[in-house]
Amino acid sequence: MPDFTPVLKEDEIKRHISRIAKTISFDYQGRELVLVGVLKGAFLFLADLVRELALEHVKIDFLQASSYGADTRSSENVVLKKDIDVDIRGKDVIVVEDIVDTGLTLTFLIEHLKTFGPNSVKVCAMIDKKERRKAAIQVDYACATVEKGFLVGYGLDYAEDYRNLPAIYHLKL
């Protein structure tokens, strides 16, 4: 039986999302925002976040990047598995990620999105995990920062399990 230690409870996640949503709503007032969720991990986070945004024009799309193997290591070779189809030229984009670890996935995805000519690209992540950062990624909006460890729940998986947990846990394997 794996060992789960709570990191963020359901009501804490909810409070963080409300806080971030207020900031984003303020920052993007009167602009055309496109939220680009990174599949699959960001599906719950994006769904909860978008419902709290007080903005008139919000579009939603998804990207998927592949990571090799079903283990706890991040891949250094990022490959695009699913592209966006909303036209982001001249628009303001926020990439919505579950967790930023090395930052290599986001670096790749941001470079890719920039080829479409958006007005701006910012980053919103549920968890900003600092210890293994290899790329200079700025997380503009984050629920929480952790130093290290492998987290599951609320979209985050271990070998595709535990995404359905309503809270976030540290998983000791």
Render the burial of 133-166: b for 16+ CB within 10 Å, e for the rest.
eeeebebbbbbbebeeebbbbbbbbbeeebbebe
Site for Mg ion contains 155 (CB under 5 A): no
Site for ligand IMP contains 99 (CB under 6 A): yes
101 has catalytic annotation: yes
One of 104, 123, 124, 126 touching ligand IMP (CB under 6 A): 104
One of 37, 41, 118, 153 touching ligand IMP (CB under 6 A): 41
Residue 41 burial class via C-beta count within 10 angstroms: exposed 0-12, middle 13-18, buried 19 and up: buried
Closest approach of ligand IMP to the CB of residue 111, in Å: 13
Minimum CB distance to ligand IMP smaller for 21 or for 151: 151
Closest approach of ligand IMP to the CB of residue 40, in Å: 8
Closest approach of ligand IMP to the CB of residue 139, in Å: 10
101 binds, among Mg ion, ligand IMP, none (CB under 5 to 8 A by kind): ligand IMP
Site for Mg ion contains 41 (CB under 5 A): yes
Task: By CB under 5 A, name the binding residues for Mg ion.
Answer: 41, 98
Residues that bind ligand IMP (CB under 6 A): 38, 41, 67, 74, 97-106, 129, 150-152, 156-157
